[in-house]
Amino acid sequence: MLMRSSIIDNTPKYSKYNIFNVRVEFPLNVIDITTIEDQVREQLKDFDIVEGPYINEQSDKEFVIILVRIKVSEKNDWEKN
């Protein structure tokens, strides 16, 4: 789910890697805020996490946004991971 529906930026670099900014919004009533960072890291363990995960609370206090930047080899079919 993380990698199929939430890529908001794909920034190619002059290298063998692509950088992806991943942004996902979760309702607070379905996640455990104390473990969400570890769960995101576990789901993205096959990728090189460059930054994050960062948690931003929405002003309505009902949702949180998780932001992560990952680095993926050009040869890696990241959508299948």
Chain segment 15-24, per-residue pLDDT in tens: 677 788 888 8
Quick check: is 53 in a domain?
yes
pLDDT, mean of residues 20-39: 88
Quick check: is 79 in a domain?
no
Specify the pLDDT at position 73.
74
| Contact call for residues 26 and 66 (beta carbons, < 8 A) | yes
Quick check: is 6 in a domain?
yes
pLDDT, mean of residues 2-16: 58
Specify the pLDDT at position 68.
93
CA-based end-to-end distance of the chain: 10
Q: What is the Cα–Cα distance from 4 to 61, expressed in whole angstroms?
A: 26
Q: What counts of helices (H) and strands (E) characterise the chain?
A: 2, 4
Quick check: is 35 in a domain?
yes
- Based on the structure, what is the number of domains in the chain? 1
Determine how β-strand 7-12 pairs with β-strand 17-27: antiparallel
- pTM exceeding the 0.85 threshold for the entire prediction: no
Quick check: is 52 in a domain?
yes
Quick check: is 25 in a domain?
yes
Quick check: is 78 in a domain?
no
Domain extent at residue 30? 2-73
Q: What is the Cα–Cα distance from 3 to 7, expressed in whole angstroms?
A: 7
Quick: pLDDT tens for 48-77.
999 999 998 877 778 888 999 988 876 666
